[in-house]
A and B are shown apart, each in its own frame.
Chain A
C-alpha cells in the first residue's frame, strides 16, 4: 500500500494551488483577448482558441511547478531543527562549570544522606 509522505503531500498541494491560480489568470486573459479579436475578425479564432488553450495549460503547469518548488520541506525542516538545536545549545551553556559542579555535587550529597 502506497503512503503519501508529508513532503510529497505538501508539494502536491502547492502545485495544485499554483496550477489553479495561473490557469484562472490565463483563462481570463485569453477570454478577453479572444473576445476582442473575434469581435473584429471571427475566423482568427480558429487559430487563436487552440493556441490559447495550449498556452493556458502550459502556463498553468509552469505556475504549479514554480509554486511547488517554493515548498522545500527539507529546508523548512532543517531550519526548524537548527532553531531548536540552537535553543538546546543555549540551555546547555547556561550552567558555568563551577556552578554545575557544585549543583550536581549537592544533589548527590542529598541522595546519599537520604539513603
Chain B
C-alpha cells in the first residue's frame, strides 16, 4: 500500500476541512476585523480616559491616606470606589484582548471566555447587563489580576494598545 499517498490524501482532506471551516467563519472574522479597526481609531480616546481615571485614582488614594483610622467608614468607601475604577480598567483591557482573540479564532463559542466576551461587549456598547453578569466579570478580573486588584494598581494607558494589538508597540 502506498503509505505516502495515504498521508498526502489525509493532509489534503485536513487542509480542505480547515479551509471550509475558515471560510464559513469568514463573514464573522471580517466583522471582527472591522471592529478592531474601529477600536484602534478610538484607542487614543480610551487611553486618555484611563489617564484621567489614573489621576482620580491617585486623588482617591491620597484622600484615603490622609484620613486616620477613626474615619474607617469613609476609608472603606474610598477603597471601594478605587477598586471599582480599577476593575473597570482591567475589564476594558480584557475586552480589547477578547476582541483580538475572537478575531484570531482563539475563543470558541463554548468557552467560558466567550460568555465573558459577550457580557463585556454589551457593557462596551452601553447595553443592559444584569448585576450577576457584572459579578461574573468581577470574579474573572480578580482571579486573573489578583495582585493588581488587591494592591489597587491602576492600568497603564499603553496596556490597552498591547491588549488590542497583541504586542507591545514602540
A residues contacting B by CB (< 8 A) are 88, 90-103, 105-111, 113-114
Whether B77 contacts A91 by the Cβ 8 Å rule is no
Whether A102 contacts B81 by the Cβ 8 Å rule is yes
Whether B49 contacts A99 by the Cβ 8 Å rule is no
Q: Which residues of chain A are near B76, meaning CB under 8 Å?
A: 98
With A94-B139, A106-B88 in contact, do A100 and B134 touch (Cβ < 8 Å)?
yes
* Per-position binary interface string of chain B over residues 134-149, scored 1 when its CB falls under 8 Å from any chain A CB and 0 otherwise: 1110110000000000
Q: Which residue of B lies closest to A107 (CB)?
A: B123
Per a CB cutoff under 8 Å, which of A94, A102, A106, A111 touches B138? A94
B residues contacting A by CB (< 8 A) are 42, 45-46, 49, 53, 76-77, 79-85, 87-89, 91-92, 123-126, 131-136, 138-139
With A102-B85, A108-B126 in contact, do A96 and B80 touch (Cβ < 8 Å)?
yes
Q: Which residue of B lies closest to A103 (CB)?
A: B84
Q: Which residue of A lies closest to B53 (CB)?
A: A106
Per a CB cutoff under 8 Å, which of B42, B89, B124, B131 touches A92? B131
Tell me the bound Cα distance from A101 to B125 in angstroms.
18
Per a CB cutoff under 8 Å, which of B46, B84, B131, B139 touches A102? B84
Q: Which residues of chain A are near B84, meaning CB under 8 Å?
A: 95, 98-103, 105-106
Whether B135 contacts A109 by the Cβ 8 Å rule is no
Whether B80 contacts A91 by the Cβ 8 Å rule is no
Whether A107 contacts B132 by the Cβ 8 Å rule is no
